[in-house]
Amino acid sequence: MAVRKVVRMGHPVLRQPARPLEPHEIGSEPVRRLLADMIDTLHDYGGIGLAAPQVAESVRLAIIEIPGGPTRYGDIPVMPLTAFINPAIEVVDHATQGYWEGCLSLPGLRGFVERPQHVKVRYTNEAGGSDELELEGFLATVFQHEFDHLDGKLYVDRITDSTLLSFEEEYLRYLAPREAPNADL
């Protein structure tokens, strides 16, 4: 296991659509090692989500771990560390809500992004089985942000009002809603 370097916006790998993992790769030694490294990396950098392209591996694998707790958006449920392989996302309700997003690949920045707030996710788990989850509110945003990385998209692509892109220090001083989540996705 090892902490990998998180690549930053400008690295071409962040703009490539990642390839699906083949069934025979899931559970294989290289993928297990990648997953272990991604977990170490997420913990070392201190985010709540990390996609494989962010460690320069162009495969459809992402991890999410949310400590949960009360925020102005309500009580965000805990999401224990989970790996999502070849995820597909379906919008259940197109009504959107905006949150200030951050990303380990855009360190020091925050941007306000509106996304659908009710989605369904189908994915392959670490053991190779099929799973699905339905997510609402901030969690729906987190999953869409993470899976965008697998399609070569970054949250800045989804900012509709470019005045709502800020350095973190200024965000915290002038823009942050009180008790808003402040985490890199």
Which positions are catalytic? Answer: 146
**Cβ proximity to Ni ion, 139 vs 185, nearer residue:** 185
Q: Is 21 in the site for Ni ion (CB under 5 A)?
A: no
Q: Is 48 in the site for Ni ion (CB under 5 A)?
A: no
Q: Which residues contact 146 (CB under 8 A, 6 or more apart)?
A: 49, 50, 51, 62, 64, 84, 185
- The span from the CA of 120 to the CA of 92, in Å, is 7
124 close to 131: Cβ distance less than 8 angstroms: yes
**Cβ proximity to Ni ion, 27 vs 82, nearer residue:** 82
CB atoms within 10 A of CB 16: 13
Q: Is 64 in the site for Ni ion (CB under 5 A)?
A: no
Q: Is 79 in the site for Ni ion (CB under 5 A)?
A: no
**Cβ proximity to Ni ion, 27 vs 116, nearer residue:** 116
**Cβ proximity to Ni ion, 21 vs 42, nearer residue:** 42
- The CB-of-127 to Ni ion minimum distance in angstroms stands at 26
Mark 93-112 with x for binding to Ni ion (rule: CB under 5 A) and - for no binding: ----------x---------
Q: Which run of H or of E encompasses 77?
A: none
Find the angle CA(52)-CA(143)-CA(140) to the nearest 5 degrees. Answer: 175
Q: Which residues contact 142 (CB under 8 A, 6 or more apart)?
A: 48, 49, 64, 66, 135, 185
Q: Which residues here bind Ni ion, judged by CB under 5 A?
A: 103, 185
